[in-house]
Structure 1
Amino acid sequence: MRSHISTARALRRPILINTLPSFYSNLIQALTPDYPRQDATSHTTAAAAHGGERARMTNFGAEQLIHEYQLFREALGEVCDTHGLALSPADWTIIDRSINTAIREAVREFTSIHEDLRHKMAAALSHDMRTPLAVIANGAQLIGVADDLAQAKRLGEKIAANAARLEAMVGEVLDALTTHRGERLPLQLSRFDMRELILLVQREFADRYPAALEMVAIGVEGWWCRDTMRRALENLVANAMKYGDGGPIRIELSTSHGNILLTVHNTGNPLSAEQRGRIFDYLRRERQVPGQAGWGIGLPFVKRAAESHGGSVAVDSAAQTGTTFLIDVPVDCRPYVDDGGRAGGWEAPAAPPALEVAALHRLLE
């Protein structure tokens, strides 16, 4: 990519690689007989997450986004030829369909980020601000006809209270808008072990969840905002409790290419393709559970938390495999936070790793 796409040359390695290893793994699953995945993009939002992160954190255009998927296919073909891996025409049909679909989903998310902004603004302003504005206008009119100073003072206090309420609403609206504009949460970075944070959240929910809250996590020390990552994980666990079928909830932590992969998995009814596409929308409430209120803020916060750390979030949901939310952020997010929302420069690795082909070897065997 650095040889063929000029805008990729200044990217740090985790941002450059992004979600393509997950796409590669999904492709292996799609090529595996009897595995419940038709292609690398079925029941997952990884491609959309890739396109969204390219829009937020790089200077890529849609053309460069398409080009990198084309380079992915070319590299796959060259490696297969080099190692004598004879994939069948049916396999290449799956590969081509996966890449073509991933391109469409990535470009769709890439272009939609800016389009959503004006719609959210109009809806929030018209709905939330009418009441305090009406109170302020009515109070001002009553002051004009007030008989005494005490009455005018009471009306003035009422106007001041609703003005403060309106100011708070403006802050909330701006906060919601920055979610879609790519701006970041204010993060207080510190070095800690993510596994210890997961243990803390596991203990927090253990008494409230009768089924098992499982954890498979390695110790990973890195630089993140502890409070933000805790809130994000709590939202995912609470979401799994609310919408799962009461079975075990599994939290996993691993590393890949300088990033941590933090997942929360539950069993139960899967999300539909339409729901997967909109699950992270602000104020979107899916599959309402009777007696459990929801405001459609939790998952958008998770998305914003991941993006503010220089990463992304995706969901993978199918009847056979359950629902998994994946947070993918750098182990050390300081460079991505300090660069003010864009991926900064990169340091070339001493020895670039070769493309792994062991999985394809096992598949063909």
Structure 2
Amino acid sequence: MRDAVFAEWESQVRALIKGAQHILHPTLLNTLPIFYDNIAEALTPNYPRTEATSNNDVAAAHGGERARMTAYEPDQIIQEYQLFRDAFSRVADQQGVTLTRAEWGIVNSSIDNAVRESVRKFTEMHGAFRRKIAASLSHDMRNPLSVMVSAAYTLSIGTTESGRVPVVAKRILDNGQRLSGMIEELLDALSLNSGEKLPLSLSSFDALDLAKAVCDDMGADQAGACTVSGTSVVGYWCEKSLRRALENLVANAIKYGDGKGVQIKVSESHGRMLMAVRNTGNPINSEHYGQIFEYLWRDGSVKDQQGWGIGLPFVKSVAESHGGSVTVDSSAATGTTFMIDLPVDCRPFVESP
């Protein structure tokens, strides 16, 4: 049903949701293919996933991408999931797929929980972005304002030589214009829907080759410490930053795993490149999913562990700057997987204004 569901869903979203008509296909789908796979796993007997949002932050990543990459409002995210439910139901009917009442309960609870998590992350990101920009610009505004006040004071006390008056006045004018520009920037920041991005240098290369190179480097000291599987995916990304992001994930997986090795898997789905880094061992508490991507966060509850440092926030910045996301899926039964999810061709998302 998978491809048929997404074809039906995308058609309805573009027809019914304002602004969706111009969103590129990889951005429109973003993490939904992973969410769909999670539903399939939750419906699979004896698979250790009770519903699609169990032990992962895929739905939150969806909301985060919508905050960064679109002009959506929260109600449009809700409508997306409603249309997803409708598409799932229609395709199931068309293909004669029959689900029990309990199975439909899993599907519905998965979608309902995903709505809440996506909207929560969407609003959280907008609030955090606006506070950060407001604080930064408010701080920077003090510099031109100080120059203006000082220059105006010099003119007011009448001690300035006549030949210097135009120079002092120009200082006031220049810094007034700077301050005006900052105010406009601040007003834009309170309404725009894009976040800060890393400077990227895009080139075409194979993500599988990159994964193999990183794995060879990181696991050189121990046989079997790192293995790579998957398919060749050639696309446009920033090789330097993506390598650093992958190195961070592999280093963390080796450091915090149980010594049974790290697996990297590269795949492609609906114009998205998926790069998963998995290890086994103690799972990450679901309450920490958001915190581990924050700079300087430390998990004080874990003995002899200094936390995830600044590595994961960098990974998050790399993924988001490419127009993608990074998600975490962690449980004792399935291990811990960090998934970098990027458009195969990032040029439209990185190079556009």
* 1:29 aligned residue (19, 36, 41): 41
Determine which of 316, 323, 331 is the counterpart of 2:329. 316
Shift of 1:277: 3.0
Q: Does 1:83 align with 2:83?
A: no
2:238 counterpart of 1:206: no
For 1:10, the equivalent position in structure 2 comes to: 22
Q: Which of 240, 249, 266 is the equivalent residue of 1:236?
A: 249
Which one of the candidate residues 9, 31, 56 is aligned to 1:19? 31
Q: Secondary structure at the match of 2:52?
A: coil
After TM superposition, the structure 1 = structure 2 runs for residues 153-164 of structure 1, keeping only pairs within 5 Å, are none
Give the Cα separation in 1 of the matches to 2:95 and 2:306.
55
Q: Could you tell me whether the CA contact under 8 Å between 1:218 and 1:253 is conserved in 2?
A: yes
Residue identity matched to 1:116:
A
For residues 168-227 of structure 1, give each alpha carbon's deviation from its aligned partner in whole angstroms, at most 9, with x where no partner exists.
xxxxxxxxx9xx971110001111122221122112112344653111032222111111
Comparing 187-196 and 310-319, the one that deviates more = 187-196
Q: Deviations over 1:12-48 (max 9, x none)?
A: 0000111111111100111111110010000010000
Corresponding residue for 2:55?
43
Contact 1:254 1:261 in 2 (8 A): yes
Which structure's relative contact order is higher, taking Cα pairs within 8 Å and 6+ residues apart?
1
Post-superposition Cα deviations, 1:272-291, rounded to whole Å, max 9, x if no partner, equal 11012322122212368777
Show the counterpart of 2:76: 64
SS at 1:219's partner residue? coil
Decide whether aligned partners of structure 1 residues 334 and 86 sit closer, same or farther in structure 2, where only a CA change above 3 A counts: same
Determine the C-alpha separation between the residues in 1 that align with 2:119 and 2:272.
Answer: 23
**1:143 alignment counterpart:** none
Identity fraction in percent: 53
**Count of residues in correspondence between the two structures:** 287
Match of 1:114 in 2: 126
TM-score, normalised with respect to structure 1: 0.74
| Matched residue, 1:103 | 115
Are residues 83 and 52 of structure 1, via their aligned partners in 2, closer, same or farther at CA, if it must alter by over 3 Å? same
Q: Does 1:55 align with 2:67?
A: yes
**TM-score scaled by length of structure 2:** 0.76
The match for 1:188 is 201
Distance 1:123 1:209 in 2: 47
Root mean square deviation, CA, Å: 2.4
Cα distance in 2 between the residues matched to 1:249 and 1:120: 36
Residue 275 (structure 1) aligns with? 288
For 1:294 and 1:320, how far apart are their aligned partners in 2? 22
Question: Helix, strand or coil: the match of 2:199?
Answer: coil
Task: Point out the more displaced range, 319-328 or 237-246.
Answer: 237-246
User: Could you tell which deviates more after superposition, 277-286 or 318-327?
Assistant: 277-286
Among 332, 341, 345, the residue aligned to 1:332: 345
Q: Any idea what SS the aligned residue of 1:106 has?
A: helix
**1:339-354 residue pairs with structure 2 within 5 A?**
339-340=352-353
Matching residue of 1:284: 297
Q: Which residue does 1:224 correspond to in 2?
A: 237
User: Partner of 1:282: helix, strand, or coil?
Assistant: coil
Q: Are the aligned partners of 1:209 and 1:241 in contact in 2 as well (CA < 8 Å)?
A: no
Q: Would the aligned equivalents of 1:242 and 1:289 in 2 still touch at CA under 8 Å?
A: no
**CA-CA distance at 1:119 after TM superposition:** 6.9
8 Å CA contact 1:309–1:337 kept in 2: the answer is yes
The AA in structure 2 aligned to 1:186 is: P
* Shift in CA distance, 322/291, structure 1 to aligned 2, threshold 3 Å: closer
Gaps spanning 5+ residues in structure 1: where? Answer: 125-176, 341-365
Does the CA contact (< 8 Å) of 1:113 and 1:181 recur in 2?
no
Superposition deviation, residue 258 in structure 1? 0.9
8 Å CA contact 1:288, 1:294 repeated in 2: no
Deviations 1:260-280 (A, max 9, x none): 100100000011110123221
Tell me, which stretches of 5 or more residues in structure 2 are unaligned? 1-12, 137-188
1:243/1:289 contact within 8 Å kept: no
Tell me the equivalent position of 1:355.
none
- The letter for the 2-side match of 1:339 is S
Whether 1:307 and 2:312 are equivalent positions in the alignment is no
SS in 1 for 2:290: helix
